[in-house]
Structure formats: structure tokens, C-alpha cells
Chains A and B, each alone.
Chain A
């Protein structure tokens, strides 16, 4: 039988059986519209409320009504950036974000620029960290929002969120973080970390696709961007996706419950994988912060080898990995994140992301390493950037 190994968990994960069991009754037993007044609706509303409670507890929100369901992380980011900008326009028109944010943040910011907002895109250092000094330097009286992601989706670097939020609040500015890659990998405590608004997604943590949430601290002004319904306290119109919401609630509860054990396992896998790769394959660069990173995401540049070709050869060997972001995987341009950390075009184009999940085994990692070494050797053999296929630069 053909072997298949999944190492693309930063793109999406499977739905765990515990989560699936939580969801199933919502399809054909408790299926009412959560907004309906009758008992069918009230039963569904109770499911949605339970999930809201679970998410609030998982991130230590003060109240469950600070959790607003969306269709996913992209909508949550769109809403956060545009909703906070529109809702606070009377105070100013300046937004600060970083150059390595997810496209859903960057494109929302670009849209706002078209509408008269001013956006500063902070650079990052070679490890992917935003400079705190740089941030302080750019905050000005017209600044209304700072949005910095908690964990980068391509390189796994963890930002100094608590320090950033402290500085932002000292200046009376709202702080949003995209925590889509952080949930399940880090303890995200919105009160301890002083986060005002936080984006989350379900399908990165063994929950279903098509559902996410925005944490909005009570008192923060935000405009709706989805109109036409009174759902989510009049802030996000549209019938709630109760089965998916139920799954998300369960998934985040499990993610917090199993956080330590999963991260310990992934730490060991990461270390084993990197040691073996560095031992067997020359000219490999580890991208991202060497220490301040999540365990599951490993971004490597295999010099002189084009990333898409390597991904395709690995795929033909039954191994699923990706470029940085699945959302832009079809792009022929080098990743904006890898460019921002200073990689040249060729090295950026030589990069692929391994993102291991909780089910990965050492035996599977051994298979990946074996096939990876073969594929890299094959592509270096036909690369004009190599010398006789021996992995040496011309």
C-alpha cells in the first residue's frame, strides 16, 4: 500500500475523534437555528454558548460574551483590522503592523490605506522578531491600532506579545494579535498578556474548518463588517455554524488540556528531525528564531533546490509538506516572510515548511528524512547552482 505521511499541520489538521463526536449530534439531532425562539433553537443556542464558554476559559477571557464566532481566522483578522479601524476612526487613522503578518492582515491594511488610513509595516530581524524600539518609535498621537501576530505561520517565531501589549497600552492604543498559529502551541492568556482583540481558528487545533473566533475585550470599540443579522451581540450577522462551533469549543478545550504533553513530544521530534537533517544533508538553513519558536513548525532552506519541486517530489513519495502559507501556495513569488527576515530570492525560493502534529511518529520522521535526503540530492543533481550534483556551490 502506498505510504502517506502528513507533515503540514500548520496548514490544517484532521478533526480528532473527540471533536467529531462532539459535533455529530449537531447535524441531525440538535439542528435548530441558534437564533430561533423554539426549543430546537434554544438547544442549538445552548451548544453555541457552551463552546463560547470553553473558548473563553481556554484563553482566560473575563467573560464568555467577549468571544465572537466567525467563519475562520481570515474573517477574524479582516474584522479585527477593519472593524477596529472604522470603530476608532474619530481618534486617529494610523495603524501599526509587521511585514510578516498573514495576508488576511496585510491585505486588510492595504484596503484601509486605499480608504485614507496610514499603515506602518514594521520590519523584523533575521529571526523574525519585531523590534520593540522600532515599535515605540513609530507610535504617534494618531495611532489607533497595533496588530502583531503571536506566532508566525511560516517560520514559527514567537513575538514578545506581553512586552508589545504593555507598550501599546502605555500609549493608549488598542492591541490586536493574530493567534491562529499560537493556540494549541502556547498558553494564550488574554488577561495576563493584556490582549484587547485576538483572532483564533479551529482547524489548526484538530477542530473543523470554516469556524474561528475573535476575542474582543468588553469596552473595545469595533464596527461590524458582516451586516444583516443580530447574531453575536449584533456584531456579526449570519446564522452560527453550530456543528463547527461545537467542534471548535471541544478542540480548544483539548488543546489546552494536552498542551504540555503535545509540546514535549513535538520538542523531541523537532530536535531529532533537525539533528538528522543537518547530519545527512549539507547546505541547509533553519529559518526563524532558534529558541523563541513553537515546536511543531520547522522552516528549512535547502540551498540550490527549488522549494516547489522538492514539495512535489516529496508528495510523490507520499509526504505532505508545504511552502509557508497554504493560502498563497500557488504563488510563484518568494514568501514575504522569508524576504522580510533577509533571505535572498534563491534561498527564499529554496524553503519548505514541515509542521508536525501530535500523531507523528519517530518512524515516520525517519521515513521523511530518508526521502528528503534522496529528493534534495536528485534536485541538486540537476540544479545549475550546484557543482556536479554534490551539493557544492559553483
Chain B
């Protein structure tokens, strides 16, 4: 059902933890598949670049794997670049996802967008 990269990111997620001193915590709860995804981001105050991203996820193996690779993708992006990170980018990083699991990547994308929205509101 899942490729080895998805399984690896599901069973050994390197970014699965909370974060002390996060600049923003985004959350998305899906009515569709009951995913709950929390994304924590730390942004370098001087450069505006994301220096660290972690997650906590209640969801399928696909959602956990998407959360983990999305955190990897977020690091070293500036806020404008992070805004552009899409579900397709996350799936591309994983290689592939079953058709009925595309919503997993969308849940993660939405949690990231929420984190950025919160960050921008705080820093306006």
C-alpha cells in the first residue's frame, strides 16, 4: 500500500516532537478523515528563515509521513517560500501516495498555512 519512504517516515519520524520557543504553532483538523496535525515552526528573527520545524499528528501512516517530510522541507525556507509549499510538493518528496491518501498531504499543507498565518499575525 505504501512505499518504503512512506513507511520509513512513518515508523521513524525524525521531527515528531513539540517545540519549546516555537514562533508559531499551526493546527488543522480535518472533517474528512479526522486528521489532527500540529506544525511547530521556529523562525530566525534576523533572516526570516525557518530554522526548525516539528510536528505532532493524529492521523494515518500517510499523514504522519507527510508531516515528517514537510518539516524537512520547511527548514531553510523563508516565510514566502513556505507559503507556497503545497500538498503536491509533499507527495513528490515521498515519491507517491495512494489516491485515497492525498487528503493526508492536504491536512499537513493546511496546518503549515495556519502556522504561517499565526506567525504573520504575530509579526505584523
Contact = CB atoms under 8 A, between A and B. Distances in A.
Contacts of A384: 27, 36-38, 56-58
Most chain A CB within 10 A, of B34, B55, B59, B103, is at B34
A383 interface: yes
A309 B27 contact: no
A346 B36 contact: yes
Interface string A353-388: 000000000000000000000000000011111001
Interface residues of B, number: 26
A156 interface: no
Interface stretch (B10-18, B88-96, B113-121): B10-18
B16 A332 contact: no
B10 A306 contact: no
B60 interface: yes
B64 A382 contact: yes
Given A308-B61, A309-B60, A382 B13 contact: yes
Contacts of A312: 10, 61
Most chain B CB within 10 A, of A383, A384, A385, A388, is at A384
B94 to A, nearest CB: 15
Interface string A330-370: 11111000000000011011000000000000000000000
Given A304-B58, A306-B58, A316-B11, A381 B16 contact: yes
Nearest to A347: B34
Nearest to B64: A309
Interface of A is mostly: loop
B36 A385 contact: yes
Interface string A299-330: 00000111011001100100000000000001
B80 interface: no
B84 interface: no
A182 to B, nearest CB: 31
Contacts of A346: 34, 36, 58
A345 B34 contact: yes
Contacts of A334: 34
B11 A306 contact: no
Interface string A31-75: 000000000000000000000000000000000000000000000
Contacts of B37: 384
A309 B60 CA distance: 5
A331 B98 CA distance: 12
A381 B103 CA distance: 23
Interface of B: 7, 10-11, 13, 16-18, 27, 32-34, 36-38, 55-61, 63-64, 100-101, 103
Interface of A: 304-306, 308-309, 312-313, 316, 330-334, 345-346, 348-349, 381-385, 388
29 contacts: A305-B58, A306-B58, A306-B63, A308-B61, A309-B61, A309-B64, A312-B10, A313-B11, A316-B7, A332-B32, A332-B33, A332-B60, A332-B103, A333-B33, A334-B34, A348-B34, A349-B34, A349-B58, A381-B16, A382-B13, A382-B17, A382-B55, A382-B56, A383-B58, A384-B27, A384-B36, A384-B38, A384-B56, A385-B58
The 3 A-B residue pairs with the shortest CB-CB distance, nearest first, are: A384-B56, A382-B16, A332-B33
Given A306-B34, A312-B61, A349-B33, 6 more contacts: A308-B61, A312-B10, A332-B32, A332-B100, A333-B33, A349-B34
